[in-house]
Amino acid sequence: MNILQINSSARAFANGQGSQSTRLANELVETLRAGAADATLALRDLTANPHPALDEATLGALFTPAEARTPEQHARVALDQALIDEVHAADVIVIGVPMINFGISSQLKNWIDAIAKAGITFKYTATGPVGLIEGKKVYAVLTRGGIYRDQPHDTQVPYLRQTLGFLGIKDIEFIYAEGLNMGPEAADKGIASAREHIARIADGAAVAA
């Protein structure tokens, strides 16, 4: 099993401190690896190594035929292709998803923009678009200051379902840690709920094995 972990918090994580989404994503990855002795891990930390945003220069590079690109354009396209290659190589993708102003972080948005490529990760057909990334399992670890699960103002889950599903990734499991800014008791409850979900994933993996 090849695991790809995507850390997308704007906060760094060091010495057990910092990003809650990264902490829980780390715990989930450790759980998955414990259940699969041959598991490999590729870590893409978008905080330590931010991916550039989609801008005019990037669009120019992407829409220029490969044989006509400048060295700078080749280098920019290669940055996106490296992320796409990581996704294709993965069996399981674990994404840390903090809520920022009711949405996903800019770091994660840049990653999605990088891997969503017509003709590479999806294609248009006479009957509509078809995703070209198949056979992946995604775990999205959602950390929120308030309570948004199953509420109309939860924009993260619909967005991730739509965008990843558009690329062909349909098997998405959401792990919720909510109420993290609603006082110590609520925060502890939110973290405990997420850890209980991670434990159930471990139990399911053990049964499957």
Instruction: Show Cβ contacts of residue 194 under 8 Å, excluding neighbours closer than 6 positions.
Output: 24, 141, 143, 175, 176, 177
CATH numeric code, 2-208: 3.40.50.360
Q: Which residues pair with 100 in a beta bridge?
A: 103
Class of residue 51 by CB neighbours under 10 A (exposed 0-12, middle 13-18, buried 19+): buried
pTM of the full structure: 0.92
Residue labelled with tokens 């308030």: 146
Quote the percentage of the chain above a pLDDT of 70: 95
Quote the percentage of the chain above a pLDDT of 90: 89
Tell me what pLDDT residue 203 has: 78
Q: Residue type for 65, please?
A: P
Provide the token pair at 151: 């509420």
* CA pair distance 5, 92, nearest whole angstrom: 8
Q: What are the phi and psi torsion angles at 100 (to 5°)?
A: -120, 115
pLDDT digits (tens, 9 = 90+) for 137-155: 999 999 999 999 999 999 9
Region 193-197 average pLDDT: 97
pLDDT at 199 over 90: yes
pLDDT digits (tens, 9 = 90+) for 43-92: 999 989 999 999 999 999 999 999 999 999 999 999 999 999 999 999 99
